[in-house]
Structure 1
Amino acid sequence: MKLSEIPNFVDEVIATGCAICAVGHDMYVLGDVQEIEAAGSELRRIGEKYGPRDHLQTDVIAYLRSIGRFVDVTWMEPPHQTGWTSQPHSFSTICFEDLGTQRQRRQPSGALFEGAS
């Protein structure tokens, strides 16, 4: 994918019914599990059309934030692991997408995440 194609990519993902949005400044989600499952074949077609986009991840996130499609989240470490803390805690990548083939793990929220570890 080229930098200039990001707006069209986002528009096409939205058109599938998926609520693509940035999560913080380090990752983005294509949508929730149900949306992604329902739009699976269309998302694969979009992935094939635009090709690899990992090199543009920060640009996709910046674009999503610029159009108001973002959620800011502060993650807290569980108290039983480190004692009570108010320090933000980031987590590793939960979803990897490779040319339409996804290896994914579900979070309790049901969202699939793409992002840097």
Structure 2
Amino acid sequence: MTKDEIEAFVATMIEAGSNIQAIGTIGYVVVEPVDPTDKEAYRRIALVSSAFGDRDHLKEDIIAYLHEIGRVVEIPKEPHTGLI
């Protein structure tokens, strides 16, 4: 997969039923369907994932794009406990 394919990848994952979202700025998830009872969605998501190929090298770019379009789960910051 190339950087130019990120938007198409995300759009195709959403069309397949994926609830693709960035997890803060550390990662993203693609496997969980919007409707967990949609067993066929798991197959569609897997097909899209394999069709676009390796994307590990684009992790940060995919996360940034997901932030741009508002598909992000923010990670709450831990309050400072004073412990070392």
Q: Which bin holds the TM-score, normalised by the shorter protein?
A: 0.7 to 0.9
Query: Larger relative contact order (C-alpha < 8 A, sep ≥ 6)?
Result: 2
Q: Which runs of 5+ in 2 are unaligned?
A: none
**Native 8 Å contact 2:17 2:45 kept in 1:** no
1:5-44 alignment, distance < 5 Å: 5-30=5-30, 32=32, 34=36, 37-44=39-46
Q: 1:3 to 1:15 in 2, by over 3 A?
A: same
TM-score (structure 2 length as normaliser)? 0.78
**Higher helix content, 1 or 2:** 2
Q: Distance in 1 between matches of 2:31 and 2:75?
A: 16
Q: Distance in 2 between matches of 1:42 and 1:14?
A: 10
Q: Distance in 2 between matches of 1:54 and 1:15?
A: 21
1:1-117 alignment, distance < 5 Å: 1-30=1-30, 32=32, 34=36, 37-74=39-76, 76=78, 86-87=79-80
TM-score (structure 1 length as normaliser)? 0.58
**Native 8 Å contact 1:22 1:71 kept in 2:** yes
**Higher strand content, 1 or 2:** 1
Q: 1:41 to 1:21 in 2, by over 3 A?
A: same
How far did residue 32 of structure 1 move?
3.4
| Equivalence for 1:96 | none
Cα RMSD, aligned residues only? 2.1
Identity %: 35
Q: Which runs of 5+ in 1 are unaligned?
A: 77-85, 88-117
